[in-house]
Amino acid sequence: MDTPIISIKGLRKVYHNHIAVNHLDLDIHKGEIFGLLGPNGAGKSTTILMILGLTEPASGSVLVDGINPQTHPVDVKKLVGYLPDNIGFYEQRTGLDNLVLVAELNGYSYNEALGKAKDLITTVGLKEVGNKKVSTYSRGMKQRLGLADTLIKNPKIIILDEPTLGLDPTGVKEFLALIQKLSKKENLTVLLSSHHLHQVQEVCNRVGIFVKGNLIAHGKVQDLAHQLFRNNGVTTLLDTGLNDTDEINAIKSRLLNIDGIEHTDMNGKQIAIHHSFSSNTPLIKALSDQEVPIRQILQKGYDLDDIYSYYFEENRL
């Protein structure tokens, strides 16, 4: 496997006897979108600050493309674009002007900066408003401008801290699609910090779950689900199309007579069938033999919501 572009070993950070990050070990590889998932105060932002060299660890190490951010913070900042959860712009200047200024601060000549700013304005979908003052921008437009801001220096890595905060559902969908597109096109490594489970699952190749400063699980969502729930058997959701409670309860009782069905419960108006069949095919045959009405049948998969709930059950904290 390739050398990780971000390598974290034994990282620890303490604030006034409070352990913010506790012996963190994590590798992130070039081109992947990695999600840092957890509630406020879990250690996500502190980890990001140590990656950027903006705060010192109590112990452990970080390497960003082989560079130590504690000893060479400027070199790391040349490689990393950072979008905080509340980015600031010169509101009375245009979006294009803001980007030109940032490009010049990163060493580009004015003409180079202008050309790059125009390209990025188009890339993030702000071409029609690039010459308007930022004060007229919506939250979603400002986030897009912030993304352009992180890309202005051609970073290898971009770090996004709660980038969809305050966006409406359409804005969230468009922003996440843009991140995926850019990561794939530019082979960008993206570190996405969020507490929105479904957004993280939608775009991230792998996730890391933080609880009270500890990284308690990390990997692909499907792999984590398999590790946690492989002994749970298979659950299939059955919609009979019936509304009468007595009829549905009668069907639930009949289902228990089928070999391989362990137990049943309700999932809204659907019957959740917990069974040992490897697929739905033999289950459907058994239901047909029992003359159970089937309007819709779907095998339930475990997702990030199930994984997150598992780790945040009271007896696991």
Return the CATH number at 234: 3.30.70.100
DSSP 4: P
Q: Whole domain around residue 265: which residue ranges?
A: 230-303
Does 162 share its domain with 279?
A: no
**Residue 120 backbone dihedrals phi, psi, to 5 degrees:** -70, -35
Confidence of residue 304 (pLDDT cuts 50, 70, 90): confident
Q: For residue range 259-289, what is the model confidence (pLDDT) as tens digits?
A: 888 888 887 778 888 777 767 788 788 888 8
Q: Would you call 15 helix, strand, or coil by DSSP?
A: strand
Q: End of a domain among 219, 252, 283?
A: 219
Does 180 share its domain with 126?
A: yes
Global confidence as pTM: 0.76
Q: For residue range 223-260, what is the model confidence (pLDDT) as tens digits?
A: 777 666 665 666 788 888 888 888 888 888 888 888 88
Residue 310 belongs to a domain: no
Confidence of residue 129 (pLDDT cuts 50, 70, 90): very high
Q: For residue range 156-200, what is the model confidence (pLDDT) as tens digits?
A: 999 998 888 878 888 888 888 889 988 988 889 999 988 777 777
Asked if 134 and 89 touch (Cβ cutoff 8 Å), the reply is yes
Residue 252 belongs to a domain: yes
Does 67 share its domain with 172?
A: yes
Number of domains in the chain: 2
Residue 311 belongs to a domain: no
Does 208 share its domain with 251?
A: no
